[in-house]
Amino acid sequence: MFRNIGERSLKIYFYAFLVIIYLPLILLIIFSFNDSRRMGFPPQGFTLEWWQRFLSRPEAVTAIENSFLVASVTALIATTVGLMAALALVRHFFRGKRLATSAVVLPLSLPPIVIAVGAVVLLLAVLDVELSRLTIILGHVLLALPYTTLILMARLIGFDRSLEEAACDLGANEFTTFRKITMPIIMPGVFVALIMAFIISLEDVPVAYFLGGYDTTIPVYIFGLLRWGIGLPVATAMSAFMTGIMLVAVIISVVWTRRAEKT
């Protein structure tokens, strides 16, 4: 009987956890349509005013553009660079391999604020570069690189190299082999690495905040609104916008995974 109570409370805990982690995000979406300046309970009725205000602010729209541009470029660079490093680290033995591996994990071992501060000092004091979206990308690739490299290394370790050898024996050169054999097999890993890097860039505040200069991304813009207590309803609408995108992405991946697990 005690066993049953334990089992049941475990189950209840699981569903309660699920509800609690989604509750703030659901409330956010509800309150972005709330017809009151005061973001308090109970909700006061329906309005589209906050969404209209958010979409009619040029700097908010620019922040959206910046976010998605930076995240896309970061994903492409971090995955390409990470794939090259992963190929070297998995397939070859060379001197300094341990050092190279530690270097790849180094950005994971430091709080993002330390990474950001270092880059700011280098860029402003030593190189005298204007901070912009480009410098955010510089930092974001660094943040994403350990993830993309490790994801692709894991994929390459489980790779049956005799397939490549067979292709070479049949007369394919390295490039054809890579394109026709290697790429299709590691494609799922590449896909995961791209998504991971995109998300890391999209949700980051510390690095984009320090390295952006006058260019802001969505989270940094929301951070500014909240910090100075101006335009809380607009911040809520922007957060709801980002949450909505996340929810769509989650629903799609849930449906996909479910289909894959069914078989």
Which parts of 71-100 interact with other proteins (CB under 8 A)? 80-82, 84-85, 87-89, 92, 94, 100
Options 50, 51, 54, 210; binder of other proteins; rule CB under 8 A: 210
Stretch that binds other proteins, among 47-55, 57-65, 107-115, 160-168 (CB under 8 A): 107-115
Min dist CB 244 to other proteins, Å, is 10
Neighbours of 112 (CB within 10 A): 18
Q: Residue 24, Cβ neighbours under 10 Å: how many?
A: 10
The Cα–Cα gap between 109 and 114 comes to: 10
Stretch that binds other proteins, among 45-53, 55-63, 160-168, 214-222 (CB under 8 A): 214-222
The two structure tokens encoding residue 115: 């990474």
Binder among 4, 56, 58, 227 for other proteins (CB under 8 A): 227
31 versus 51: smaller Cβ distance to other proteins: 31
- Of positions 63, 73, 136, 151, contacts other proteins by CB under 8 A: 151
Q: In whole angstroms, give the CA distance from residue 91 to residue 139.
A: 28
Tell me the Cα Rg of the chain: 23
HSE value, Cβ hemisphere, 13 Å, CA-based, for 117:
5
> Exactly one of 63, 73, 75, 139 binds other proteins (CB under 8 A); which one?
139
- 27 near other proteins, rule: CB under 8 A: yes
Q: Of 235-254, which residues contact other proteins (CB under 8 A)?
A: 235-236, 239, 242-243, 246-247, 249-250, 253-254
Token couple for 177? 């082999």
Site string for other proteins, 45-74 (x = CB under 8 A): ------------------------------
Query: What is the phi/psi pair of residue 46, to 5°?
Result: -100, 135
Query: Residue 169, CB half-sphere, CA atoms under 13 Å: how many?
Result: 6
Q: Which of residues 158-187 bind other proteins (CB under 8 A)?
A: 174
Nearer CB in complex with other proteins: 52/158: 158
Side-chain-side CA neighbours of residue 81 (13 Å): 17
In the chain, the amino acid numbered 96 is G
